[in-house]
Amino acid sequence: MDASDCQLSAWAEIDRAEKENRRELVLQGTSVDERIQSGGGLCARLYSLTLLNYLEISQCPNLREVHENIGDLTHLQSLILCRNKIRSVPASVGRLKSLKVLDVSVNELQGLPQEISLLGDLNTLNVSCNRIASLPAGLSRCVKLSTINVSKNALSRLPDDLYSGQLELLSTVVASENAIEELGAEISNLPALKVLDLSNNKLTDIPSELSDCTRLKEINFKGNKLSDKRLEKMVNGCQTKSVLDYLRAGGRGKGKGKHQEEGKAEAAKSAPKKKTASKQKGKGQNEEVEDLNQMIVRILHVSDSPGAITVKVAGGVKDVRPYIVCCIVRGMSLRPGNALKRFLMAQTKLHDEMCAKRTTATIATHDVHLLRGPLLYDARAPDLLKIVPLGRKEMKAVDLLRHLRQEADEQRKQRKRQNVSGLHRYLQLLDGKMLYPCLVDVEDQVISFPPITNSEKTKIKKSTSELFLEVTSSTSLQTCKDVMDSLIAKMAELNKFTFEHKEEAGSDGEGDAAHVPASESIAADGHELIVQQVRILDMDGNLRVVYPSKTDLNSDMSLTVIR
């Protein structure tokens, strides 16, 4: 039971959040865990912080239950309760009508309350690494659900209503390391499915209807003893396209009669129409979608260059911010008129909307010519991480955060507001973390400190035509890829707009842009963009991820791919 009384000095984080009307609060690690143990639970005043929209309580082995008063925090959009010893989630969680992200991974849960189905705005559910034997009925009522991770539990099957046809946005299903014996043919009722991981289960067949999921990019059925040994060999080789082609051709598996040769040919003919129909539904106007696709056909090419910059990932980021994808984009015209301003505004919009105000992912952009590779994605102690933040001199991360908090307080006083906008709202995402994530160049210079800031040394300007793009996340790798897909599509759209309107260069007077003739302000190849792969490696040089891969930038776009 949570402590009903608690000393003010013992819970300084709660005191500060209460006094400053903060929207985010992070309680994490050994210090918090010791207070939970000595006080018999969390400080009860936590549940009076009704303005919170982000709450994280993690890495506390002595946290064994969540008080029902959690339901009083009705403004919560993200509730992160991972890496504790929680045994149950109270039914009152169903009162959190604004909740978008629920992460209760790595606990000791044996089930979830039925009231989860009342969370109509929920888009991410992570219950991995627990002891859950079945999921509650009614998940189909969470119509905005896009990602569900139930890996490393005790599930024998996925719930039937997952395939009800109501979850039209569900794109990622991770259910590896369970005891699932069957995947239903109804899987084809998930039109947005991009990632399906059912590795290390007890499947013997894969339904041929899986090939009807036209947006599938990544499947994983490794570790299942399939009756079709040819299919099992493909699965173990991670050959997503080969597996789907084999199923489409009527390979062994339940429901294979649906895909005899004649029917299969008809399905192949209708597949593009189905995709177009899906776009019509999502966009509202078919002509608008077709115009966008044709635009990208003309201006976007992918190049797999052997000279691509590589990024190595240190082991320390695993428990801090584990996911990262990068790429290089050439041909972006930022000189003319307000082109740079429009690009920065588009990035801010992606941060606010798709990245859920940076809680799910963060974008960073750099001038390629100011980078020194290879790069290292690392995690460092706050007093050791040094960076030259945008518009500032070099300082330690711990000092930077202190300065930013002081500035936030001053802004509040000057504007007589309870809250501040911009960067300061994200400071709480690092509270309680022993290490901070950072991207470092070959000279050990920190060029990025997500989710806070980039380095002044690699800042993009009007003269920048080659950009290094970076997306990091603590949610999932697919989240990074989806955000990067959207960013590149937006860049293509902006570049086309700049080209067609032929704005005069240097309207904001930055650098030498004002002296560049308008005729030279557009890339020599018109508005064409070239996207170059960047490989992400582990410290031993083994490939972890590459972007763009053959399955990236394809789901909603027609592309000419050069490899």
- DSSP string computed for 55-119: EEEESBTT-----GGGGG-TT-SEEE--SB------GGGGG-TT--EEE--SS--S---GGGGG-
Give pLDDT, residue 400. 87
Show the tokens assigned to 78.
């993200």
What is residue 433's three-state secondary structure?
coil
What is the Cα–Cα distance from 440 to 387, expressed in whole angstroms? 10
Q: What is the DSSP track for 230-295?
A: HHHHHHHTT-HHHHHHHHHTT-SSTTGGGG-HHHHHHHHHHHHHHHHHHHHHHHS-HHHHHHHHHH
Q: What is the 3-state secondary structure (H, E, C) of 388-406?
A: CECCCCCEEHHHHHHHHHH
Kindly report, residue by residue over 485-522, the tens digit of the pLDDT. 889 988 988 888 888 876 655 444 444 433 333 333 33
Is residue 88 within 8 A of residue 112, CB to CB? The reply is: no
Residue 393, domain extent: 286-562
- The answer to whether residue 253 scores a pLDDT higher than 80 is no
> How many domains are there within the chain?
1
Instruction: Give the rounded percent of residues in the chain with a pLDDT score beyond 90.
Output: 38
- The single-letter code of the amino acid at 454 is N
Kindly report, residue by residue over 385-434, the tens digit of the pLDDT. 999 888 788 889 888 888 887 776 676 666 655 444 445 556 666 777 78
- The answer to whether residue 152 scores a pLDDT higher than 50 is yes
Is residue 503 one of the residues assigned to a domain? yes
Under the banding of pLDDT at 50, 70 and 90, the label for residue 155 is: very high
Show the tokens assigned to 148.
């569900």
Decide which of 160 and 123 is more confident: 123
Is residue 194 one of the residues assigned to a domain? no
Under the banding of pLDDT at 50, 70 and 90, the label for residue 145 is: very high
Q: What is the DSSP track for 162-181?
A: GGSS--TT--EEE--SS---
Decide which of 204 and 427 is more confident: 204
Under the banding of pLDDT at 50, 70 and 90, the label for residue 94 is: very high
The mean pLDDT value of the chain amounts to: 80
Is residue 365 one of the residues assigned to a domain? yes
- The single-letter code of the amino acid at 207 is P
- Provide the β-strand partners of residue 530: 301, 330
Is residue 413 one of the residues assigned to a domain? yes
Nearest to 339, CA basis, from 456, 459, 510, 482: 510
Is residue 290 one of the residues assigned to a domain? yes
What is the Cα–Cα distance from 333 to 518, expressed in whole angstroms? 11
Kindly report, residue by residue over 307-320, the tens digit of the pLDDT. 568 899 998 898 88
CATH number at residue 379: 3.50.40.10
